[in-house]
């Protein structure tokens, strides 16, 4: 066994593959249902491949939470190299993932009787959840025990959030937070919502009339939040890599970044936000 603690999270955390491998983070894939066939998010296809299928037939695109069995499988794998397992899920107010992870923890009492498992509700989603998992995994690699790793994760959980700019409001009705007719009207008017996280929910932060104003607005919010304090930033995109790279360059030149990387926005969320979504998760040191 290499570490005292192994960290597990779900694919909604949007952690780049190389970082998953570097910090040995177990990823439980959320399920995508496309044209009647099930795919594991980030396993059976890349986010870009999923978005290409989404663009062909948006109405056939649905999602399904991971099962307790999938979480248990991740726990079994994690137990091979650590005594304790720390699982961080997306917000329990957005998905049943937390409940599934807890159910798997109960099942593990018979299958992994020696394992000490703790499950945390990240109260977040996107790379904001990913930053919590990354902080925990880094602490685990430093040899910290479960209590210390949990403490580090809680500290980041209290600070991490995100800002994303949608390119269209057309698909947002799928979140069940606005009626379909309202999203259709908004699409015709070409308004673009800005979303953020608060108290475990995804909330509207504002609406802009074009993309350029939207990017300017989310950068203004970031500047008001962090100033020149050291900040961790994960630029996220849905099928918009070129724009993500330009946004990353701008953030690098305008902010004091302790950490800055690009990651793809999970198509599990993209089915409700659409392609072209652009933004970032962040937290101050």
| Residue range 116-157, pLDDT digits in tens | 999 999 999 999 999 999 999 999 999 999 999 999 999 999
Query: What radius of gyration, in Å, describes the C-alpha atoms of the chain?
Result: 18
Pairing verdict, β 26-28 and 3-10:
parallel
Q: Which residue has the tokens 């970082």?
A: 19
Average pLDDT of the residues in 16-36: 94
Name the band, by pLDDT with cuts 50, 70 and 90, for residue 1.
Answer: low
Largest CA-CA distance found in the chain, in angstroms, rounded: 58
Q: Round the average pLDDT of the chain to a whole number and report it.
A: 90
Q: Which range among 40-54, 186-200, 255-269 has the greatest average pLDDT? A: 255-269
214 sits in the region (left: phi over 0; alpha: psi -120 to 50; else beta) called alpha
pLDDT of 62 higher than 60: yes
Average pLDDT of the residues in 207-218: 93
pLDDT of 172 higher than 70: no
123 sits in the region (left: phi over 0; alpha: psi -120 to 50; else beta) called left
According to the model, what pLDDT value does residue 170 have? 53
pLDDT of 107 higher than 60: yes
Percentage of the chain beyond pLDDT 70 is 91
Domains and CATH numbers, the chain: 3-30+65-157 (3.40.50.10440), 161-284 (3.30.1180.10)
Name the band, by pLDDT with cuts 50, 70 and 90, for residue 184.
Answer: very low
Which of 166-175, 233-242, 258-267 comes out lowest in average pLDDT?
Answer: 166-175
**Quick one: tokens of 161?**
């959030």
Burial of 220 (0-12, 13-18, 19+ CB in 10 A): exposed
Which of 56-70, 144-158, 174-188 comes out lowest in average pLDDT?
Answer: 174-188
According to the model, what pLDDT value does residue 54 have? 81
Average pLDDT of the residues in 167-194: 53
């Amino acid at each position: 066994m290499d570490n005292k603690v192994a960290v597990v999270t779900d694919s909604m955390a949007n952690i780049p593959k190389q970082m998953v491998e570097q910090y040995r983070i177990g990823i439980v894939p959320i399920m995508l249902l496309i044209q009647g066939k099930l795919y594991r998010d980030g396993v059976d296809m890349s986010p870009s491949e999923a978005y290409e299928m989404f663009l062909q037939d948006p109405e056939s695109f649905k999602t399904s939470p991971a099962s307790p069995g999938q979480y248990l499988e991740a726990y079994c794998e994690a137990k091979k190299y650590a005594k304790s397992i720390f699982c961080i899920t997306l917000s329990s107010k957005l998905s049943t993932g937390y409940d599934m992870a807890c159910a798997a923890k109960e099942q593990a009492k018979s299958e992994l009787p020696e394992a000490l498992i703790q499950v945390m509700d990240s109260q977040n989603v996107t790379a904001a959840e990913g930053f919590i998992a990354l902080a925990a995994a880094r602490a685990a690699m430093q040899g910290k025990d479960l209590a210390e790793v949990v403490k580090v994760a809680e500290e980041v959980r209290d600070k991490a959030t995100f800002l994303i700019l949608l390119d269209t409001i057309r698909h947002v009705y799928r979140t069940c937070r606005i009626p379909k007719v309202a999203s259709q009207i908004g699409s015709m008017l070409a308004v673009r919502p800005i979303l953020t996280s608060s108290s475990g929910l995804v909330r509207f932060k504002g609406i802009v009339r074009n993309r350029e104003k939207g990017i300017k607005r989310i950068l203004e919010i970031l500047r008001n939040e962090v100033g020149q304090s050291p900040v961790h930033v994960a630029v996220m995109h849905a099928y918009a890599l070129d724009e993500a790279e330009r946004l990353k360059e701008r953030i690098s030149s305008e902010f004091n970044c302790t950490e800055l990387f690009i990651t793809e926005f999970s198509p599990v969320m993209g089915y409700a936000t659409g392609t072209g979504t652009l933004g970032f998760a962040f937290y101050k040191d």
